Structure 1
Amino acid sequence: MPPRTRHTPILRGMTAETTFGTTRPLDWLCLAPHPDDAEIGAGGTLIRLARAGRPVGVLELSRGERGTQGTPGERAAECVAAARILGLAWRGQLGLPDGELTDTPGGAHALARVLREGRPRVLVVPHHKDRHPDHSGSYHLARRALHLAALRKADLGGEPHRVSRVLLYQGNGDIAANVLVDVGAVMTDWEAAIRAHASQFAGGHVSETVTPEVVERRRARLMYWGTLARVRYAEAFESEEPLLIEPEGW
């Protein structure tokens, strides 16, 4: 019996579902392990970019089907409502299993395909030190997908694409922030985008992240990062690589 090749038809067949907008070249793409993670971790920055005319997108890696609150259908509808508030050009769903997000060949090939189709300049991913295993697993999945998307001989279809910058966003733990974005002017819409996920943030306390106090807790973090940047509110990101800056733009 001949050995199985690494790239099976199953891997080639996995693809993302568009849930909002249209697939197009994107400036920034934010990966969310579950519905609502992008809004909580990077929503203010996405709103600022969208208002500046930049095409930005969000890709949910799972439907959050194992969450205590909300059905997959309810959460999908909430994602559409939040996408309108954020001003997204595109939102998609990869459909990987909730609670089992990690670096797998099938998931990495599917995500690499999205990177080739969307061609983002900047990719925003969860931090690898996050306490939630789906968040840390998403980081490692993204790293493999970034590598595959740039390989000309990878069996993915489409043209190879190399993302210019990867930023890590804050989830359920601290980060070594070296990139701060002033989001003070968009806090009203930032809060509205989070609250669009009503199944998660209305009712009783379920976990450290699924709680009615999520906006209050996150706002406190944004105020802390804002203090360091001498603004009222700032979203924090970590770049694992040095940032090249044009000094004339300082």
Structure 2
Amino acid sequence: MLRAMSDAGLVFETIHGRVQPLEWLVLAPHPDDAEIGAGGTLIRLARAGRAVGILELSRGERGTQGSPQVRVAECARAAEIMGLAWRGQLGLPDGELRDTLEGAHALAAVLRAVRPRVLVVPHHRDRHPDHFGSYHLSKRAVHLAQLAKADLPGDPHRVSRVLLYQGNADITPNVLIDVADLQDVWAQSVLAHESQFSGAAISETVTPEIVERRRARMTYWGTMARVRYAEAFEAEDALLVDPLTL
């Protein structure tokens, strides 16, 4: 059920759970992007008792298959499967995601509302304009959210870590996360987006073969990490590591 949330004229919608501080938040240009790129990691964190969530920047209204109404219902089903604490949609225009002041203010307001410690965003090398546009939009929003004098609702919030996830292009990750034990539930969460993955193949990602294709990438990254399947991320800033854990 949709529940509109608004403050100072900035509006986003909660479609699952409740607004609360989150450990991890994944930004998705469109419905299903977060499940494909970071779903296993979110499930692993949720099962460990961490509050995690997804924010769709658009409703995917220009997609070839599925309507916004159908897709929001699919998002809610996937959120239940994954065990998310919160899922929301910002409602920026599909096909036009880019670094604008209006969009950055809207996203920064959400960051102040759900206060993620770790923010996961699409990689800037992705070939899809909405994906690399979302990366650049998120960078401005992260900056605005922490400014005490920014004209935004809510208290300032500083994201501790930004990670980039893999979409439609290759990346050079420096963070690999074991998701081998979560493959069944991960696949269920992806296939909850039935409108995208049960009909004719539209692209290499909008296809009934999506689980098989993404799992091939997980197998590759898993080989690098000496596990069966892994999800890959890139940290732009150096990670401080306890040498006792290496």
Give TM-score scaled by structure 2 length: 0.96
The one of 62, 68, 87 aligned to 2:64 = 68
Structure 1 residues 84-233: aligned runs within 5 Å = 84-233=80-229
Residue 44 of structure 1 aligns with which residue?
A: 40
The Cα shift of 1:208 comes to 1.9
Residue 236 of structure 2 aligns with which residue?
A: 240
Distance 1:98 1:194 in 2: 20
Residue 3 of structure 2 aligns with which residue?
A: none
What stretches of structure 1 move > 4 A for 4+ residues in a row?
A: none
Distance 2:144 2:110 in 1: 11
Distance 1:176 1:98 in 2: 27
Which of the pair has more CA radius of gyration?
A: 1
Once the two structures are superposed, residues 8-27 of structure 1 have per-residue CA deviations (whole angstroms, 9 ceiling, x without a partner) of xxx95122111100000100
Distance 2:62 2:122 in 1: 19
**8 Å contact kept, 1:178–1:239:** yes
Once the two structures are superposed, residues 20-67 of structure 1 have per-residue CA deviations (whole angstroms, 9 ceiling, x without a partner) of 000001000000000000000000000000000000000000000000
**8 Å contact kept, 1:122–1:165:** yes
Q: Which runs of 5+ in 2 are unaligned?
A: 1-6
Distance 1:204 1:157 in 2: 43
Q: Is the partner of 2:97 in helix, strand or coil?
A: coil
CA RMSD of aligned residues (A): 1.0
**8 Å contact kept, 1:12–1:155:** no
Distance 2:199 2:20 in 1: 37
Give % identity: 71
Distance 1:113 1:172 in 2: 28
Distance 2:243 2:46 in 1: 25
Distance 1:12 1:140 in 2: 24
Distance 1:195 1:166 in 2: 27
Q: Number of matched residues?
A: 240
Q: Is the partner of 2:95 in helix, strand or coil?
A: coil
Q: Which runs of 5+ in 1 are unaligned?
A: 1-10
**8 Å contact kept, 1:103–1:141:** yes
